[in-house]
Structure 1
Amino acid sequence: MNLHALKIFYTVALTGSVTQAASKLNISQPAITAQIKKFEKELNVVLFEPKGRGIALTSVGQKLIDPTRRLFTLEDQIESIIEDYRSHKSGKLRVVGTYLATSFLIPRWAAKFKSNHAEIEVTITTANSKNVLDQLVNYAADIAICGGEPKFYPDEVEWEELYKDEVWFVVAPDHKYANQHITFSQMMTEPFIMREEGSATRERLFALCKTNMVQPPKVALQFSGLNETIHAVSSGYGASFISSLAACEFVKRGELAKVYVEELPPINTIALCTRKHEKYEPFVKEFISMIRENLPLNDAL
């Protein structure tokens, strides 16, 4: 397949305009039109059709968009890897983690690692569980620290359990359920303040609702950050379902209160994730070994 022509097709599809695609690719409009027609002839399909004053993708053209996007995303990542190697010959370690990992775990590991390897550049990125795994699979990160159910991890991911973290139901200290023992069904009648879709704890809660055949709670407020979620709950509205790592200090200070749900002790797996069959550079292997040797104790969480 002609990858140059495929790139032209993809650019026209993204911009929705031959004119904009020509400007972006620095190719003349007639050359773009000719390349598209030649490409369609080679494939024996029609990729675009007239629509008003512009053009639109045909049904087969629409089907090509997602795999083509993945192909050129991978191309960009390959170029990025090569550029990183050229710019950071001494080494660059890219770590991605969920909020919990990047707030409570990774900084300590990174500081310890940098004390022995000042020449290695370390970058740390925060994302929700789904995006963490996407970055790892798509070579945007070298290793990932992730929560959630490992059975839902992509096939390309090798995972290793680091420890089990409790997940707590929390409310404001003056909430009617504060420090009370109640049923799961009762808890689900409360309005919830939740992280965005793709968050491991959100997915965990909805899975528990399905398992217990209980209607999921109403998501009254949604935030993309855990800190915002915690402060909204402590302000007195609704409940949330969050890791003990994030909640314990707020509970100790009396800013949040636990709710004891009788049927279940929710547990979240914190895992070290890598790509299967990856041949990592020695300093990446050393960082992974250091993580294993410096795990927090479960009873200290």
Structure 2
Amino acid sequence: MSSDAPLSHRVPDLGALELLLAVARHGSLGRAAKETGITQPAASSRIRSMERQLGVALVDRSPRGSRLTDAGALVTDWARRIVEAAEAFDAGAQALRDRRDSRLRVAASMTIAEYLLPGWLIALRQARPGTAVSLLAGNSSAVAARLLGGEADLGFVEGLAVPEGLDGVVVAHDRLTVVTAPGHRWARRRGPVAPAEVAATPLILRERGSGTRQVLDSALAAHGGLAEPLLELASTTAVKAAAVSGAGPAVLSELAVAEELASRRLVEIPVEGVRLTRDLRAVWPTGPRPTGPARDLLALTRT
């Protein structure tokens, strides 16, 4: 008749079984203790505890050494099979970890993919040279869809909040800036532009679903909302090129336009009374935090 107690309470732990196997090999409790990395008193205590747990004597101790009882010899045979099965289990689990750690699929919104991830991935390569990394760039909505669809292990987004179905953590901060070519009328003003004028002006914008567009829509909602875009483009690089060409004003991350502002190919236009800052987040499907290479990349973004 089987006991109602859980199996874990009726079967000795692996450490105790490995100690019993060592006693069988050496015929000495002292040498078995040394092999398993514990003191002899601790080994004696563990054997006694196992005997109480099983209800039978396992080892006869004498000045000449330690000898297995008949019951001890039988239990040792069972223990050997359990330990071998545990070793096979451990090897299989390690193989799963190795397969997981051999690749990392990252999805990131455009600004993060172009201006922040390259440095993080170089650092990850130094820490994990055996991990192959693939990067899928898209807007924040596309990043969320890839994560929820199981197509990416870790994502990075630029929107106002963590997308539904995901958990996340802030890894950086960013500011959006209104920019124009030097010849634009706004560049000749001495004072800032009012938010309502920005909202009413056709702008060169990223597409709907992008983090940049979400922040801008929210910031200007109280000022009449955005006018129909002059151009609606799917990449930061395309928006920037259109602005440099003089097509019209654009709104971009300060990370994306630092070089153009320094060289005066673009001019920053101050806007009064509106907040254009945003959090940049690492995100993953709701549940446990990332493990393996994804965990390491996440740690690198916080240093």
TM-score under structure 1 length normalisation: 0.64
Is 2:186 the partner of 1:177?
Answer: yes
Is 2:172 the partner of 1:163?
Answer: yes
Is 2:249 the partner of 1:239?
Answer: yes
Aligned residue for 1:177, secondary structure, equals helix
User: What residue number does 1:75 align with?
Assistant: none
Is 2:203 the partner of 1:192?
Answer: yes
User: What residue number does 1:93 align with?
Assistant: 104
Is 2:292 the partner of 1:286?
Answer: no
- TM-superposed deviation, 1:211: 2.6
1:113 and 1:224 map into 2 onto residues whose CA distance is 28
User: What residue number does 2:237 align with?
Assistant: 227
1:246 and 1:195 map into 2 onto residues whose CA distance is 13
1:192 and 1:110 map into 2 onto residues whose CA distance is 33
- TM-superposed deviation, 1:279: 6.0
Matched-pair contact (CA < 8 Å) for 2:100–2:292: no
2:240 and 2:98 map into 1 onto residues whose CA distance is 40
Matched-pair contact (CA < 8 Å) for 1:190–1:238: no
User: What residue number does 2:261 align with?
Assistant: 251
User: What residue number does 1:41 align with?
Assistant: none
* Equivalent position amino acid for 2:182 in 1: P
- TM-superposed deviation, 1:139: 1.4
User: How do residues 1-301 of structure 1 correspond to structure 2 at under 5 angstroms?
Assistant: 88=99, 91-150=102-161, 153-154=163-164, 156-178=165-187, 180=189, 181-212=192-223, 214-278=224-288, 280-293=290-303
Give the total of aligned pairs. Answer: 206
2:211 and 2:101 map into 1 onto residues whose CA distance is 35
Provide, for residues 19-69 of structure 1, a one-character-per-residue CA deviation record: whole Å limited to 9, x for no partner: xxxxxxxxxxxxxxxxxxxxxxxxxxxxxxxxxxxxxxxxxxxxxxxxxxx
* Equivalent position amino acid for 2:146 in 1: Q
Aligned residue for 1:254, secondary structure, equals coil
Point out where structure 2 has 5 or more consecutive residues left out of the alignment: 1-95
Provide, for residues 158-205 of structure 1, a one-character-per-residue CA deviation record: whole Å limited to 9, x for no partner: 111122211101111111111641111122232211112211111222
Point out where structure 1 has 5 or more consecutive residues left out of the alignment: 1-84, 294-301
1:179 and 1:208 map into 2 onto residues whose CA distance is 24
Cα gap change, 1:160 to 1:86, in 2 (>3 Å): closer
**Structure with greater Cα Rg:** 2
RMSD: 2.0
1:163 and 1:269 map into 2 onto residues whose CA distance is 6
Cα gap change, 1:115 to 1:175, in 2 (>3 Å): same
Matched-pair contact (CA < 8 Å) for 1:179–1:260: no
- TM-superposed deviation, 1:218: 2.4
Kindly, what percent of the aligned residue pairs are identical? 21
Matched-pair contact (CA < 8 Å) for 1:179–1:259: no
Matched-pair contact (CA < 8 Å) for 1:148–1:270: yes
Cα gap change, 1:112 to 1:204, in 2 (>3 Å): same
* Equivalent position amino acid for 1:168 in 2: T
Matched-pair contact (CA < 8 Å) for 1:179–1:257: no
